[in-house]
Amino acid sequence: MKSYQVCFLLIMGLAFVISFVLSSGRAMAQGAGFYKTKVGNLEVTAISDATGQMGFDLLGGLEESQIKQEAVKAGSEGNYFPSFVNAFVVDLPLGKVLVDTGNGPAANLMKNLTAAGIAPEDIKVVLLTHYHGDHIRGLIDQSGKAAFPNATVYGAIAEDKYWLGGGNRGEEAQKCLSPYESAERYKLVSPGDEVLPGVQVVELYGHTPGHVGFLFKGGKEDFLAWGDVAHIAYVQFKYPEATMRYDVDKSKGVEVRKRIFAESAEKKLVVAGAHLPFPGIGRVTKSEGDSYEYKSIE
């Protein structure tokens, strides 16, 4: 090989290495159970806690044929849709903030936090959208101790009152919250409150009586973690009127869905849902009639 040929190959090789370094520098490290992205100036990590299936029977207000049609589009061959449980970590100057905690030790939150390079000790704040088991069980470990030893946990006053206001409804919530409560690291907020600098509590009452979202100001773009506004993305964006069995107040659930879909589309929010297809982060746009479309950022 002539020396100019060697030189040419060396230059090509160098160019390849440089372009590889540049492109991998732009793309953030990803893994099967976590997904890192930027929303405005916020660094957000979606964490997968679980995947599974949700049956047609959970939906109400639609004809079975309409549901079936959407299931086929989603690639489902049975009477069910793929289902997801996600949690989200947002990096703020005060430290890492975790929104919801998944199903607890039997599920994958801890494993996938570790895979994303986040230790339980790194979590400074946990924000709870509501107190259903798939959002609060991850607060404690197998022995019932705080799974996030340095975290202060925030929930909504109305949610606290609904679950813990008497009777035995709130047994699970009590168990999950008590290590934080006894350490004086359990705090209550209301819609409109600035729970943390640049993070506002958003009223989404309906799915549960104290269901809330958290709106993170990101500069160029804002990020809304909306908990359980939608459970089955394959159906509920097209048909926001479709009810979900888990909604405590189904008609309020529909109202909230319509209001928040409209607001998310209008304000071009980047939204994050606990049950949206992983990574559970995307954008909502207005479609025909009362319908909306959801587009995952992935």
By CB under 5 A, tell whether 49 contacts Zn ion.
no
Give me the least distance between CB of 8 and Zn ion, in Å please: 58
Give me the least distance between CB of 268 and Zn ion, in Å please: 25
By CB under 5 A, tell whether 134 contacts Zn ion.
yes
Residue window 177-216: x/- pattern of binding to Zn ion, with contact defined by CB under 5 A: ----------------------------------------
Helices vs strands, H then E, count in the chain: 8, 16
Residue 153: both structure tokens together: 């946990």
* Contact between 261 and 285 (Cβ < 8 Å): no
Helix, coil or strand: residue 158: helix
Q: Which is nearer to Zn ion, 132 or 137 (CB)?
A: 132
Give me the least distance between CB of 113 and Zn ion, in Å please: 19
By CB under 5 A, tell whether 100 contacts Zn ion.
no
Q: Which stretch binds Zn ion (CB under 5 A): 212-220, 225-233, 248-256, 259-267?
A: 225-233
Among 49, 160, 222, 228, indicate the residue that binds Zn ion (CB under 5 A): 228
Give me the least distance between CB of 75 and Zn ion, in Å please: 23
Residue 211: both structure tokens together: 């269901």
- Tally Cβ neighbours within 10 Å of residue 236: 26
Residue 214: both structure tokens together: 């958290």
Cα distances (Å, whole numbers) of residue 14 to 10, 17, 21, 115, 212: 6, 5, 11, 31, 52
Q: Which is nearer to Zn ion, 160 or 228 (CB)?
A: 228
Q: Which is nearer to Zn ion, 49 or 134 (CB)?
A: 134
Residue 195: both structure tokens together: 């729970």
CA separation for the pair 138, 224 (Å, rounded): 21
- Considering CB under 5 A, how many residues would be counted as binding Zn ion? 3
Q: Which stretch binds Zn ion (CB under 5 A): 110-118, 126-134, 178-186, 263-271?
A: 126-134
Give me the least distance between CB of 134 and Zn ion, in Å please: 5
Cα distances (Å, whole numbers) of residue 286 to 206, 265, 281: 22, 6, 17
Q: At what angle do helices 157-164 and 171-182 cross, to 10 degrees?
A: 120
**Where do contacts with Zn ion occur on this chain (CB under 5 A)?**
132, 134, 228
